[in-house]
């Protein structure tokens, strides 16, 4: 009988596995039964009982979510049913929840501490309990010991927010994981369970806000019926501590309100926004605020009325202020002056405005001075506006990094920026220390596994973890993610995290080594297009950026050129301005150098450029080999899936290398150095390739 | 120990349930353990062993798929592991597979018969085994007895095909379940498991072909790299017996080939298509053929060169003939002549061409003469082209029937058309008997449950079942689907199938009762727009169709009007031409009648019209009440989901009723009869509503 039951048990397990393939939907929140029986028993003994402190109100919806998560997690991981939370604290061992006074721990923070035979989860607010719950479950998933546990965590940044570039028609600008998870047509009635699962995933890594509409904004979102839809989403997100934000189209008072102007100083315009804010808050009492892209790439803004960005931002800030909302005003602006250096313009525009913004305005600055290129030096704006809080905007979606089909871990990029020393106000002033929060452009979509490429999940995870604690090490983050997502096996985990950590540099090498940037094709940005030089706006052309000619290559941003380097603090400026001290990864960002310029390693610039492209291609071979070595150690479905994407990455890495080198050789007129395979086609071949339906832009 | 194991078992079950919510992805193919232990034991005894006939080649990929399905199914349903297929037939009870000679049973057919202590599945080809396998598993899912089983099934129609109106950019024309499941960007490398699951679902209901591109075609699909992508899909579909087809843009020789003409009589054009066919078949040896929309709604075609549809179709047919491919040439054509009746044009164009088409051309005819309206009389083309085989085109996606958010079962619509007696060549000549196959415009998309509305799955299922056997009763089909999808409980099953069967008439009533048609809004077709009368083409205006004026309403298609009714066989014509014998459901399709016209029930036409709209609204209340009665009997997730959609349907049914009645009253100038709630707003209100992002058209 026993045997038969065991057989049945086996069957069930097997049949579940067979019929419910690993589709990746569960992300890193996989509460499967822990296989190590001893460990499971130890956890069961430590956590078997739940003691709820008398000052913990479990009827609050966020607390209810925490308790549900805890119950589901322990049921899955340990196979135990946690007794319903009782009002009075019991005796004996187990997990105890205790509410701290507001001063005892920071907002959203928590403490997990072994206290005698109890493990205590303590926090001073509901979000703290929520985040502590996920922390505890993560430890169990990773098989970590709870003995002597004593951790206290408080988020380093208040604003930890995702930006969705999702349009109301369901398309996603720069989205490579299907289409928008938000179905505005069926909202507010149909509450796709995915909305809940999304908010839960965000909460599990500490993300506490979500901008659900595209920065290229649509005024329609402010129409009453759409506000009802947004309110329904807000209701779903709220118990997971995720505040909803919307993007505000600056001309909405005209398009939606029928006014003849959107001038920020116009009384009617002010009134319109005030009324709109009231309408929003009547439906969403904890509405977060607006993100605004104004006077940027064709978006309307205050400059059309001769007003400054500060005047524009303050208009909206005044409307939101009575309700506690904030304005995240983007510094991503540049004009079409052929004499100007696009890299210098955000600084030129915003530094003079420092001190003019309302208290509830945050200026949102992309990590680099151009636009999410594979690698950029940090934006000189960081630390340069002492009176104006800044938000660091990172792109999780891989617009310029393989568009979601390449395995490219972005945590090293995020960390490089966060740790960069601005020297503004003295050495050690990292970018991380200058910002009040992080905004990440989301990479999730309708793909069953959320991100298309299974490893795309890792950067959603990494963004959340770094927004919580910017000092975290990328390897440690990916170790965590790999363990949670693919199981706790040490070798598997290490291989995966190494692949992720090394993949960024690999991608930079096969796309834009040595500080090159903006070499991609036009519009969809899919694939290489270094030869493009005929677009109407000069700064949209790759040729504007690489400036390759018979003499050399690179953008001179020193005194002899645009002098954009002068925007950095002296210590940084001096390092970047001298090609001998400028880090090679930014060399051609700041300098136009002869093809025969000698690198420190003795190679000429041309040789080094070629060798880096070659190294990038070889890196993708290494990635494929590393992944192949995990066959049989990772479930077959996900192993196959990643392998298929790696095939694309290898082919496209070769494409980038071949197209770029074939093109640059038309300028350098030099042979390819030893160890570099010559492109199989001439540059005309690569120029002739055409991919009208590459994803990530609005379908035509 | 025993108890502990049982507890663990329970936990596992529970945790699986909790962590793996019912997301609908499994469709009707839910192989969960049969709860009735006696039944399970009986099945185990009957099917425990597998005997494979010596003439059954299990190494063929389609046979391997059948065996895998069988193993997975029995593992899930019965918890047994079917022994690997052995080469020699063993002794004892069990399931036996036997290959029949080609003449013993028709192509794709199978026999399931109890033979002594064996259940024999016999077929003469691999598809027969595949379909027989799904039949057997379906019986188990439904808990049907296998004792004395003796069924033989052969499909009534050879062509059972889905048409996907999916664009290469991932959008779906008239798609309401997300976006396209086909990701052309990542093909051929990434083979989304969904492709396999799609083909498997098709096979399970006997669908044997799939047109994966939109009839509003894009020549790019014929570029070499796209053919590689299509070939990769074909490779996935092949083992499931699903042939791939593509839509052919008539001007492809110009757009892709650079020719100066697409004239079907031009030798270069012929050569281009011949070479293209060769290129396709070199990659897809069993490629099915082309679907063509030509000279229709702006699509290019042979008429531009003064050639007939037959000449156009034959051009492509000749290119495909050497390889056995077919052309499905759509009869959906109409011009912009304000004097013409759009309903008459397909007949006028195609009947004179009868006899001029090549043998491998099939003319594809929509069920009604206009365009998938909620209800239409059958197209007069059916049975009217004795020399030309016709394909019946049905729309599974609900462009005009609530756009995927309304619960509307289409099997009754499909069956009404299939069973309609054309009287062509004598009484009893049903539409079903006149066609060589069925084409269904698919309703699947990237929604996790494939169809958005969970009940949308039922019509994918019903289409396949009716294509296999057009005589099937809609109630029986929905009974099956409900049992497979929601469990075998009799009351649940009956309630669900009754809802589905009755829902069509309900929807017709709240949208277009009494033969009204084409009342929808412009472009996206979402919601009512009976007032629209200013579009550039007369036959795009709802007012063109309802012709409401102070005297009455309806389109006169008798001798005093367009006389389109004359296209039907005499017996049908006579019935339709007389408003006293014309079925009320087609009354205003064929007749313009005074508002005070007396219906057989004594009501005036105006009263009846109002009462039907009201009945439609009340029908949605009934649907909601029926579904509410199942709470607790259907899993909470799917119950909640359907309820949410029913809320939309109730609101939109009211919208349709109110908008249409408010508008028609401006013509009738009559009061609303008793029992009909007056619209709460005047017609201007309904005209002012605006939904720019309603789904189903290419995003703007």
| CB-CB neighbors (< 8 A) of A190 in chain B | 405, 641, 644-645, 648
Say yes or no for a CB contact (<8 Å) between B79 and A31.
Answer: no
| CB-CB neighbors (< 8 A) of B8 in chain A | 9, 79
Q: Supply the pLDDT for residue B88.
A: 52
Most B CBs within 10 Å, among A2, A11, A15, A176, to test the B interface: A15
The one catalytic residue in A297, A533, A578, A682 is A297
Q: C-alpha distances in angstroms, A572 versus A278, A420, A427?
A: 46, 10, 10
- pLDDT tens digits, A197-220: 999 999 999 999 999 999 999 999
Most A CBs within 10 Å, among B14, B71, B79, B165, to test the A interface: B79
A81 and A116 assigned to the same domain: yes
Most B CBs within 10 Å, among A71, A166, A179, to test the B interface: A179
| CB-CB neighbors (< 8 A) of B220 in chain A | 692-693
Average pLDDT over residues A6-11: 39
- Select from A13, A184, A648 the Cβ nearest to the Cβ of B189: A648
Q: Supply the pLDDT for residue A337.
A: 78
Q: Supply the pLDDT for residue A338.
A: 73
Give domain status of residue A303, yes or no. Answer: yes
| CB-CB neighbors (< 8 A) of A2 in chain B | 1-2, 5
Which residue is closest to A18 within chain B, CA to CA?
B72
- pLDDT band (50, 70, 90) for residue B7: very low
Question: Chain A closest CA to B640's CA: distance in Å?
Answer: 9
Convert B527-563 into a string of H (helix), E (strand) and C (coil).
CECCCCCCCCCHHHCHHHHHCCCCCEECCCCCCCCCC
How do A593-594 and A552-553 pair as beta strands? antiparallel
Give domain status of residue B497, yes or no. Answer: no
Q: What is the CA radius of gyration of chain A?
A: 26
Say yes or no for a CB contact (<8 Å) between A75 and B11.
Answer: yes
Average pLDDT over residues B568-589: 98
Structurally, chain A folds into a number of domains equal to 3
| CB-CB neighbors (< 8 A) of A521 in chain B | none
Range of lowest pLDDT (A658-672, B71-85, B237-251, B660-674) = B71-85
B211 and B141 assigned to the same domain: no
The one catalytic residue in B32, B61, B169, B297 is B297
Average pLDDT over residues B541-558: 97
Please give the distance of CA B260 from its chain centroid, rounded to a whole number. 38
Average pLDDT over residues A540-565: 97
Which residue is closest to A30 within chain B, CA to CA?
B19
| CB-CB neighbors (< 8 A) of B698 in chain A | 699
CA diameter of chain B:
87
Say yes or no for a CB contact (<8 Å) between B179 and A184.
Answer: no
B134 and B166 assigned to the same domain: no
Say yes or no for a CB contact (<8 Å) between B169 and A700.
Answer: yes
Give domain status of residue A693, yes or no. Answer: no
Nearest to B667, CA basis, from B583, B540, B571, B552:
B552
Q: Supply the pLDDT for residue A5.
A: 42
Give domain status of residue B284, yes or no. Answer: yes
Whether A692 has a pLDDT exceeding 50, the answer reads yes
Whether A87 has a pLDDT exceeding 60, the answer reads no
Say yes or no for a CB contact (<8 Å) between B184 and A693.
Answer: yes
Nearest to A586, CA basis, from A607, A555, A608, A550:
A555
| CB-CB neighbors (< 8 A) of A186 in chain B | 405, 452, 645, 648
The one catalytic residue in B120, B166, B173, B371 is B371
Question: ipTM value of the model?
Answer: 0.95
Question: Quick check: is B371 catalytic?
Answer: yes
Cα gap B97→B83, rounded to integer Å? 14
Question: Chain B closest CA to A581's CA: distance in Å?
Answer: 42
Residue range of the domain that includes A31 = 23-153
Helix (H, G, I), strand (E, B) or coil at A469: coil
- Structure tokens given for B673: 């009869």
Whether A113 has a pLDDT exceeding 90, the answer reads yes
A134 and A204 assigned to the same domain: no
Question: Chain A closest CA to B189's CA: distance in Å?
Answer: 6
- Select from A15, A26, A692 the Cβ nearest to the Cβ of B75: A15
A103 and A148 assigned to the same domain: yes
- Select from B5, B31, B81 the Cβ nearest to the Cβ of A19: B31
Cα gap B225→B244, rounded to integer Å? 16
Whether A292 has a pLDDT exceeding 60, the answer reads yes
Q: C-alpha distances in angstroms, B47 versus A187, B28, B50, B488?
A: 48, 22, 7, 20
B109 and B223 assigned to the same domain: no
- pLDDT tens digits, B205-242: 999 999 999 999 999 999 999 999 999 999 999 999 99
Whether B397 has a pLDDT exceeding 60, the answer reads yes
Average pLDDT over residues B279-289: 98
- pLDDT band (50, 70, 90) for residue B134: very high
- pLDDT tens digits, A505-519: 999 999 999 999 999
Domain of residue B362, CATH code = 3.20.20.80
Question: Chain B closest CA to A195's CA: distance in Å?
Answer: 13
Write the DSSP symbol of residue B520. Answer: B
Which residue is closest to B177 within chain A, CA to CA?
A183
Question: Chain B closest CA to A218's CA: distance in Å?
Answer: 11
Domain of residue B605, CATH code = 3.90.1330.10
A407 and A519 assigned to the same domain: no
Question: Quick check: is B505 catalytic?
Answer: no
- pLDDT tens digits, A472-492: 999 999 999 999 999 979 999
Question: Chain A closest CA to B187's CA: distance in Å?
Answer: 10
Final residue before a domain boundary, out of B424, B446, B472: B472
The one catalytic residue in A197, A263, A349, A371 is A371
Final residue before a domain boundary, out of A131, A153, A175: A153
- pLDDT tens digits, B505-534: 999 999 999 999 999 999 999 999 999 999
Give domain status of residue A184, yes or no. Answer: yes
Say yes or no for a CB contact (<8 Å) between A1 and B1.
Answer: no
- Structure tokens given for A120: 């205590």
Helix (H, G, I), strand (E, B) or coil at A688: helix
| CB-CB neighbors (< 8 A) of B9 in chain A | 5, 8-9, 12
Q: Return the number of other C-beta atoms located less than 10 Å from residue A290's C-beta.
A: 27
Q: Supply the pLDDT for residue B206.
A: 98
Whether A537 has a pLDDT exceeding 80, the answer reads yes
Range of lowest pLDDT (A88-97, A358-367, B194-203) = A88-97
Contact call for residues A43 and A85 (beta carbons, < 8 A)? no
Whether A688 has a pLDDT exceeding 60, the answer reads yes
Whether A21 has a pLDDT exceeding 90, the answer reads no
- pLDDT band (50, 70, 90) for residue B192: very high
B149 and B166 assigned to the same domain: no
| CB-CB neighbors (< 8 A) of A24 in chain B | none
Q: Supply the pLDDT for residue A20.
A: 55
The number of residues in chain A equals 700
Say yes or no for a CB contact (<8 Å) between B692 and A220.
Answer: yes
Convert A80-92 into a string of H (helix), E (strand) and C (coil).
CCCCCCCCCCCCC
- Residue indicated by tokens 């029949």: B100
Whether B447 has a pLDDT exceeding 80, the answer reads yes
- pLDDT band (50, 70, 90) for residue B6: very low
Question: Chain A closest CA to B265's CA: distance in Å?
Answer: 31
Most B CBs within 10 Å, among A693, A697, A698, A700, to test the B interface: A693
Q: Supply the pLDDT for residue A6.
A: 40
Say yes or no for a CB contact (<8 Å) between B170 and A11.
Answer: no
Give domain status of residue B395, yes or no. Answer: yes
Say yes or no for a CB contact (<8 Å) between B185 and A695.
Answer: yes
Average pLDDT over residues A387-403: 98
Instruction: For residue B151, list its beta bridge partners.
Output: B112
Q: Return the number of other C-beta atoms located less than 10 Å from residue B471's C-beta.
A: 11
Exposed / middle / buried, residue A336 (Cβ in 10 Å: 0-12, 13-18, 19+)? exposed
- Select from A2, A191, A645 the Cβ nearest to the Cβ of B190: A645
Final residue before a domain boundary, out of A153, A179, A199: A153
Which residue is closest to B183 within chain A, CA to CA?
A178
Q: Supply the pLDDT for residue B68.
A: 95
Domain of residue A88, CATH code = 3.30.379.10
A214 and A352 assigned to the same domain: yes
Q: Supply the pLDDT for residue A697.
A: 83
Whether B85 has a pLDDT exceeding 60, the answer reads no
Give domain status of residue B636, yes or no. Answer: yes
Question: Chain A closest CA to B10's CA: distance in Å?
Answer: 9
Question: Chain B closest CA to A209's CA: distance in Å?
Answer: 25
Average pLDDT, chain A: 94
B182 and B260 assigned to the same domain: yes
Q: Supply the pLDDT for residue B194.
A: 96
| CB-CB neighbors (< 8 A) of A647 in chain B | 189
B467 and B423 assigned to the same domain: yes
Which residue is closest to A453 within chain B, CA to CA?
B190
- pLDDT tens digits, A412-438: 999 999 999 999 999 999 999 999 999
Range of lowest pLDDT (A14-28, A498-512, B432-446) = A14-28
Q: Supply the pLDDT for residue B16.
A: 40
Query: What's the first-to-final CA gap in chain B, in angstroms?
Result: 64
B463 and B547 assigned to the same domain: no
| CB-CB neighbors (< 8 A) of A13 in chain B | 12
A–B CB contacts, 8 A cutoff, strictly below: 159
Give domain status of residue A481, yes or no. Answer: no
Whether B568 has a pLDDT exceeding 50, the answer reads yes
Whether A84 has a pLDDT exceeding 80, the answer reads no
Say yes or no for a CB contact (<8 Å) between A170 and B179.
Answer: yes
Contact call for residues B383 and B371 (beta carbons, < 8 A)? no
Average pLDDT, chain B: 94
- pLDDT band (50, 70, 90) for residue A93: confident
- pLDDT band (50, 70, 90) for residue B674: very high
Whether B389 has a pLDDT exceeding 70, the answer reads yes
């Amino acid at each position: 009988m026993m045997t038969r039951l065991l057989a049945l048990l086996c069957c069930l397990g097997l049949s579940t596995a067979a019929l419910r393939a690993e589709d990746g939907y569960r992300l890193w929140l996989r509460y499967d039964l822990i296989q190590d029986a001893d460990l499971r028993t130890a956890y069961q003994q430590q956590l078997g009982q739940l003691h709820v402190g008398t000052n913990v109100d479990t009827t609050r919806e966020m607390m209810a979510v925490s308790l549900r998560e805890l119950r589901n997690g322990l049921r899955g991981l340990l196979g135990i049913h946690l007794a319903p939370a009782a009002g009075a604290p019991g005796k004996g061992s187990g997990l105890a929840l205790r509410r701290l006074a507001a001063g005892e721990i920071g907002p959203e923070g928590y403490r997990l501490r072994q206290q005698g035979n109890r493990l205590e989860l303590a926090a001073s607010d509901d979000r703290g309990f929520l985040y502590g719950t996920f922390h505890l479950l993560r430890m169990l998933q990773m098989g970590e010991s709870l003995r002597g546990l004593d951790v206290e965590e408080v988020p380093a940044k208040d604003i930890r927010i995702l930006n969705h570039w999702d349009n109301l028609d369901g398309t996603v600008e720069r989205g490579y994981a299907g289409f928008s998870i938000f179905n505005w047509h069926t909202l507010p009635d149909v509450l796709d369970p995915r909305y809940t699962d999304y908010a839960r995933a965000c909460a599990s890594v500490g993300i506490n806000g979500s901008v659900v509409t595209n920065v290229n904004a649509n005024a329609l979102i402010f129409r009453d019926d759409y506000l009802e839809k947004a309110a329904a989403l807000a209701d779903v997100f709220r118990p997971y501590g995720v505040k909803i934000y919307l993007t505000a189209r600056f001309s909405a008072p005209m398009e939606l309100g029928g006014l003849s102007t959107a001038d920020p100083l116009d009384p009617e315009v002010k009134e319109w926004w005030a009324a709109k804010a009231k309408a929003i808050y009547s439906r969403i009492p904890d509405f977060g605020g607006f993100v605004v892209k104004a006077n940027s790439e064709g978006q309307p803004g205050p400059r059309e009325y001769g007003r400054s960005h500060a005047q524009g931002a303050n208009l909206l800030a005044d409307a939101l202020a009575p309700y506690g909302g904030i304005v995240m005003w983007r510094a991503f602006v540049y004009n079409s002056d052929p004499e100007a250096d696009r890299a210098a313009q955000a600084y030129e525009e915003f530094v003079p405005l420092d001190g003019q913004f309302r208290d509830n305005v945050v200026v949102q600055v992309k990590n680099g001075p151009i636009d999410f290129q594979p690698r950029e030096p940090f934006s000189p704006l960081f630390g340069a506006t002492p009176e104006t809080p800044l938000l660091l905007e990172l792109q999780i979606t891989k617009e310029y990094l393989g568009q979601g089909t390449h395995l490219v871990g972005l945590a090293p990029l995020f960390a490089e920026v966060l740790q960069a020393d601005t020297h503004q106000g003295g050495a050690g002033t990292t970018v991380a220390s200058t910002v009040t929060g992080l905004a990440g452009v989301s990479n999730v979509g309708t793909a069953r596994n959320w991100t298309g490429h299974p490893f795309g999940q890792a950067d959603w995870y990494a963004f959340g973890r770094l927004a919580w604690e910017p000092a975290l090490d990328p390897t440690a983050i990916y170790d965590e993610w790999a363990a949670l997502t693919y199981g706790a096996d040490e070798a598997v985990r290490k291989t995966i995290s190494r692949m992720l950590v090394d993949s960024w540099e690999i991608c930079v090498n096969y796309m834009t080594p040595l500080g090159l940037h903006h070499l991609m094709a036009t519009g969809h940005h899919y694939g290489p297009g270094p030869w493009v030089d005929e677009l109407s706006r000069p700064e949209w052309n790759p040729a504007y950026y690489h400036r390759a000619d018979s003499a050399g290559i690179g953008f001179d941003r020193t005194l002899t050129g645009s002098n954009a380097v002068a925007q950095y603090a002296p210590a940084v400026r001096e390092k970047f301005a001298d090609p001998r001290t400028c880090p090679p990864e930014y060399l051609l960002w700041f300098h136009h150098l002869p093809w025969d310029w000698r690198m420190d390693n003795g190679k000429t610039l041309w040789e080094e450029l070629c060798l880096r492209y070659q190294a990038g291609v070889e890196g993708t071979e290494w990635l494929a080999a590393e992944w192949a070595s995990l066959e049989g150690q990772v479930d077959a479905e996900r192993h196959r899936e990643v392998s298929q994407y790696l095939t694309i990455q290898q082919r496209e890495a070769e494409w980038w290398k071949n197209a770029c080198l074939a093109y640059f050789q038309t300028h350098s007129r030099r042979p390819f150095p030893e160890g570099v395979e010559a492109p199989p086609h001439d540059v005309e071949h690569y120029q002739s390739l055409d991919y009208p339906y590459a994803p990530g832009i609005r379908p035509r």
